[in-house]
Amino acid sequence: MLAVVFWSLPSIKQEFVGSLFEGPSGVEGEIMKIAIIGAGNIGGNLTRRLTSLGHEVTVANSRGPETLAELVAETGASAADAGEAAEGADLVVVTIPECKVPLLPVGFLDGANEEVVVVDTGNYYPQQRDGLIAAIEDGLTESRWVSNQIGFPVVKAFNGIYAPNLIKRARPKEATDRLALPVAGDDPRAKNVVMDLIEELGFDAVDAGSIDESWRQQPGTPVYGMDADGDSVRQALADAQSVRMPEWRA
């Protein structure tokens, strides 16, 4: 049984989630034990989607489980402290502001499965939110920096999708208007776990290469925020330029 952990910004309520996408996504996946550290725009809607697909979800954030009562009541998820949510986890997703990554509880992955998969959904917004992070400014990819901070390899995914689209744009496998999401990572097994989850959620997963190539899906690139099919996403990844534009620098 897998477990997924997310940490994100404050949640937004989607009252229509229960009726919008209760049916099969077109991909039958294993029922997973899922923990989400952070219950906001991305984390909150992932909680809604994953519980609607029948997964067992635990939610955590930086403010304590008592602040998650509304989301828990809405979705049937459980709440936990951020430092304990990864206990027994097979999959952990970190989806917090880049500047908050160093504040993750020490040892928050210690209780996870020894083959745990860690997903990073974050983006570096130096002018808008995060301030200067020197290593990223010097050319390190955002997810490589996150990996270095937490001391564990990560898979980069979900960083460029608008949070409402996790609900509104999910489609069965055969749908002609199904969106594609890029996924980057160094471990093929870990990447496949994440890609399978994306397919189950109702999106096509596109292999975007290694973590050192994940700059191709960072803010300011053609694929970032793009609502498109797999072929268009692959072309956008190929068209990306490695120079970070001034608006995405401190």
In a domain, 2, yes or no: no
Residues 45/69, Cβ–Cβ less than 8 Å: no
Parent domain of 216: 17-241
Q: What is the CATH number of the domain that holds 64?
A: 3.40.50.720
In this structure, what token pair is assigned to residue 55? 């997964």
Q: What's the total number of domains in the chain?
A: 1
CB 71 within 8 A of CB 17: no
Q: Tens digit of pLDDT per residue, the chain (250 long)? A: 444 444 443 333 333 334 344 444 445 668 878 778 778 899 999 999 988 988 888 888 989 999 999 999 999 998 999 999 988 888 888 888 999 999 989 999 998 888 889 999 999 999 999 999 999 999 999 999 999 999 999 999 999 999 999 999 999 999 999 999 999 999 999 999 999 999 999 999 999 999 999 999 999 999 999 999 999 999 999 999 999 999 999 9
Residue in 244, 243, 242, 239 with CA at minimum distance from that of residue 213: 242
- Is residue 116 included in any domain, yes or no? yes
User: Is this model's pTM higher than 0.75 or not?
Assistant: yes
8 part of a folded domain = no
Instruction: Please check whether residue 246 lies inside any domain of the structure.
Output: no
Alpha helices in the chain (DSSP H): 17-20, 41-52, 69-75, 134-137, 142-150, 165-168, 188-201, 230-239
